[in-house]
Each structure stands twice: as C-alpha cells, then as structure tokens.
Amino acid sequence: MTTRHLPVLPALVRNLFLDEPRRVRRILDATCGGGGHARILAEAGHAVIALDRDPRAIEIARENLGDLALPPPSASRQPPNPVPGRVLLLNRCFSDCTDLAPLDGVVADLGLSSDQLADSERGFSFRADGPLDMRMDPRAGRTAAEFIAEGRPEELERILRLYGEERSSRLLARRLSGRSFASAEALAEEIARIVRRSRRIRRGRIHPATRVFQALRIAVNDELGELERFLERLPPLLSPGARVLVITFHSLEDRIVKRVFRNWTRSVPRGSGLFRERSGGTKAEDTVPRACCDRKMSEMKRAVFLWKGVKRADEKERRANPRSRSAKARAVEIITAGYEE
C-alpha cells in the first residue's frame, strides 16, 4: 500500500535531531502514523521506537518503512530494545511509555494522518460516507455514533463546548442527542441543515460540522487526557540533553503543551539541592536555572525552550502539504533529567 500521508515539518525534525555532534541515539516517535518522521530519524542511524494506538497505522508504517522496520516484537511484554538505524513499531497509546527509558529525543505529531482521514470506514472525515466511528483503536471504547445516540444532551453539549469550542453547542446538542446516524456524512449533512435553518447560528468560513467532528473525535479517544498523561510520565524517561518536540493542530492541544513546557522551564533558586548544576561558572545565566517541575520532588526536571513561541510550516510546505497549515511546533531541551544509568 502506498501511503497518502506526508510528515509535517520534516526539515525541522532533521535540524532538531540530526545535528552533529549531538548524536542523539534513542528517539521516541510517539505518534508514528505513516512512519514519515520515524524514517527520517532511522535513516540518520538512530534507534527509533515508534508508537501508535491505531493498529492499521502500524501496518501502514511497517509497509512504508520496509527494511527499516524491525520484526514485530513477541507477545510478551519485555523492555523495548531498538536497534540503530531501524524502527521498532509498537501498537500502544503514547501515554504507555514508562518502560521506554532512556530517551534521547521525542517527536510527537498529534494530528490525524492523511491515511486515517482518507479511510471512509474510520469516520474521521465528514466528507466520507462511512460508519460514524472515529476510534483510533477500533477494538476499544465507544464509537462517535454511540456517544451521540446514548449520551444525554448535557453531556453532548459539554463535549461540543469544551472540545470543539462550538458556540452553538447547546442547540446542536439538543437537536442531535439521542439520535442514530448511519454514517459520518449523514451527521455532517444534519448539522449543516440545522445551521441553515437556525437564525441564531452565524455561518462561518469552515464547514459547520468541523468543530463537532473535532469534539467527538477528542472525546471518543480521550485525546487531551492522553496528552496530559504522556507529558506527565515523560520527564523521568529523558536523558540529559534530550530534546522534546510536540506538533499540535488545534488550540486545545497547544495550550496543554505550552502550559507543561512552561512548568518544565520554570526558574528555581540556585542551591536548593534539587538539581545538579549545568556548569561550575558564576555567570548570571548559570545562577538562575530553568526547572521542569513534576509532581514528585524526585522527578523534577530542568529544561530550556529551543525557540520562542511556535514554529510553523513555510509557504512551500503549506502548498505541498495542506495538512501542515495548522501545525504548531514547540520544543524544549532537558538540561537535568530523571533518567540516569
């Protein structure tokens, strides 16, 4: 199978993880998708662990990576043992990462892959006439159709308001809750019909179903909870000098990453005994370290931002890969880390 998916910000990934003489060796691709970022890293000689909760994504990545992909691991749960220049593919949620230490780098691309959107059987796209499913892992959890049919109006309103930032969440929830929809397209058409007939809903430039579909997908897969758990569990796994890159595609994800990274880089008093010193110097910049604060004192970290704010795709990439238009990248480098040999 030939993938439709193009990795976003490939040049940024190369610049961040392939610059010598850093020699980042053991890198986690937390959301493998079609395997594009994993390929970039493996071809540079790094040992790559690539995760995805979507079993079909793992299959596609294995096909795309070819000889770069290691054979599937045995059924028994053993500590992953990646090989330089190869990719170890694991079918699991990226929050299930506590056995992956030590990590010298992390890439997390939080967007849907083009393959997932193009597969009408998955229900991610309102332009595809397929089942209203939306589960990343089709073996677990409720479908989007079940969320709507079985949920109370108040529950659906909360989902649309919080996860879709939908201004008309109450009206849409009242009209949709308790109903059965045979396909994603049927739901999208009904939302468009409600919007057309309502005088209270202002029509925007995007399709009226866009925010509803985003909200349902986030709820079905607990995407924000998964991201929170991942970032909470990650610091103890990181080696000194590890770089963490997270690419988000909507404001809810970006707010979480921004908040957590700010906590990781928060300043703490020198001499507190919580951190090893970066150097023996006495310059002002050495006396005010940056801290990555986790819940436990023993797991507190220190990190620095690698750039201010977010980085985005340039015009050339946006033309070649429209999916990259909404991508925002934030990155930090760990100075004092939790994992030690």
Same domain, 136 and 111: no
Please provide the distance, in angstroms rounded to a whole number, between the alpha carbons at the two ends of the chain: 41
Domain of residue 27: give its range: 10-116+234-336
Tell me the average pLDDT across 241-249. 96
72 in a structural domain:
yes
Q: How far apart are CA 22 and CA 6, in angstroms?
A: 26
The 10s digit of each residue's pLDDT in 152-177 is 999 999 999 999 999 899 999 999 99
73 in a structural domain:
yes
Calculate the dihedral angle through the C-alpha atoms of 82, 140, 217, 122, rounding to the nearest 10 degrees: 90
- Return the DSSP state at 291: E
Q: How far apart are CA 37 and CA 79, in angstroms?
A: 22
Res. 85 pLDDT band, cuts 50 70 90: very high
Choose the final residue of a domain: 202, 222, 242: 222
5 in a structural domain:
no
228 in a structural domain:
no
Total domains in the chain come to 2
Residue 38 contacts residue 67 (beta carbons within 8 Å): no
Same domain, 15 and 97: yes
Same domain, 131 and 107: no
Q: What is the CATH number of the domain that holds 127?
A: 1.10.150.170
Q: How far apart are CA 53 and CA 193, in angstroms?
A: 34
Choose the final residue of a domain: 192, 222, 252: 222
23 in a structural domain:
yes
2 in a structural domain:
no
The 10s digit of each residue's pLDDT in 31-69 is 999 999 999 999 999 999 999 999 999 999 999 999 999
Comparison of pLDDT for 329 and 281, the residue scoring more: 329
229 in a structural domain:
no
Q: Write down the pLDDT at residue 294.
A: 42
Q: Write down the pLDDT at residue 312.
A: 97
Residue 333 contacts residue 303 (beta carbons within 8 Å): yes
Within 8 A by CB and 6+ apart from 143, the residues are 123, 131, 132, 133, 134, 135, 220
3 in a structural domain:
no
Same domain, 283 and 139: no
Comparison of pLDDT for 80 and 226, the residue scoring more: 226
Same domain, 112 and 125: no
What backbone torsions phi and psi does residue 174 show, to the nearest 5 degrees? -65, -35
Residue 112's CB: how many other CB atoms inside 10 A? Answer: 21
Q: Write down the pLDDT at residue 298.
A: 44
Comparison of pLDDT for 16 and 339, the residue scoring more: 16
For residue 311, pLDDT over 50 is answered with yes
Q: If we measure between CA atoms, which residue out of 220, 144, 204 comes closest to residue 176?
A: 144
Res. 308 pLDDT band, cuts 50 70 90: very high
Residue 247's CB: how many other CB atoms inside 10 A? Answer: 28
Same domain, 332 and 262: yes
The 10s digit of each residue's pLDDT in 207-217 is 889 999 999 99
Query: What predicted TM-score, i.e. pTM, was given to this entire model?
Result: 0.86
Residue 157 contacts residue 216 (beta carbons within 8 Å): no
Q: Write down the pLDDT at residue 281.
A: 36
